[in-house]
Amino acid sequence: MARTTLVAANWKMNGQREANEALLLALRAADLDSLSCDVLICPPALYMAQVSQLLADTGITLGAQNVYSQPQGAFTGEISARMLKDFACSHVLVGHSERRELFGETDAVVCAKFTAIQAEGLIPILCVGETEAERDAGQTEAVITRQLKAIMATLGADSLQRAVIAYEPVWAIGTGNSASPAQAQAVHAFIRALVAQEDPHIAAALQILYGGSVKAVSAGELFACEDIDGALVGGASLNADEFIAICRAA
């Protein structure tokens, strides 16, 4: 089954107007639209308007890093999926390990956000992944199963028809120590098989991205793996040359 490759940039809490502009102008000039992959930029919410303006007519789409589970109301400091839709966001990250670890987001919170994203017709990018201690203890598959079942048991496997999964081993994020293509492929195949137990057609069409220290030098080998359908890129997405090279490797 042919799946489109998606390269998504997660800027995290980085950027300022001037630096963003330089980065985005470089992406514009690189004509990423002519590539076979889809490219998505997830800036801090505050810069969404700037990014959408600078990327107008490029084919590069806009995503968000986080969302609250309610559509509107007295939730000081929060941003809803409805607001993200208002800015033409197509995708929203949910369950990123930094949200889980630093902001205490449980599987139940992740599921509520996932639901809110889909309720507005946006596509959740559900991040899953094990810590180093969990991998060392042979718990990788159990952790991934728990994180995925938290969605599938509540919303059904059908909900993955309009979703993307990002496998992001926590030990690989921001460490410079990417999973090897074989390590990543093994977990991606496991994720696809887990979904296939519920629905083989949805599993075959499901985009599964790899994230964790993706760099231009390693991207080609990762993208060549059968079950790797793109990348969620953090640090390297802040460097125009690196990010463009990753997109070109797709």
Query: Where does this chain bind ligand PGA (CB under 6 A)?
Result: 10, 168, 173-174, 211-214, 232-236
**109 closest CA partner among 142, 77, 146, 150:** 150
15 vs 235 by CB, closer to ligand PGA? 235
Q: Residue 42 is which amino acid?
A: C
CA distances from 165 to 83, 107, 115 (A): 23, 15, 15
Q: How far apart are CA 186 and CA 36, in angstroms?
A: 25
The two tokens of residue 158 are 């059908």
Minimum Å gap between C-beta 4 and ligand PGA is 19
80 and 72 in contact (C-beta within 8 Å)?
yes
Query: Which residue in the shown chain puts its C-beta closest to ligand PGA?
Result: 234
Looking at the Cβ atoms of 11 and 47, the one nearer to ligand PGA is 11
Active site residue 168: yes
**Catalytic-role residue among 98, 168, 188, 242:** 168
Q: Are 151 and 162 in contact (CB under 8 A)?
A: no
201 assigned to active site = no
Residue closer to ligand PGA by CB (options 192, 215) is 215
- The catalytically annotated residue of 96, 130, 134, 242 is 96
- Return the number of the residue (48 or 235) whose C-beta is nearest ligand PGA: 235
Q: How far is the CB of 85 from ligand PGA (least distance, A)?
A: 22
| DSSP strand pairing (230-233 vs 89-94) | unpaired
Q: At residue 249, what is the residue type?
A: A
The nearest distance, CB 182 to ligand PGA, in angstroms, is 19
**β pairing state of 164-167 and 38-42:** unpaired
**Which two structure tokens, joined as six digits, stand for 39?**
């490219």
Distance between CA 238 and CA 168 in Å, rounded? 18
Report the nearest approach of ligand PGA to the CB of residue 92 (Å). 13
| CB of 64 or CB of 202, closer to ligand PGA | 64
Closest distance of CB 72 from ligand PGA, Å: 28
Known catalytic residues are: 96, 168
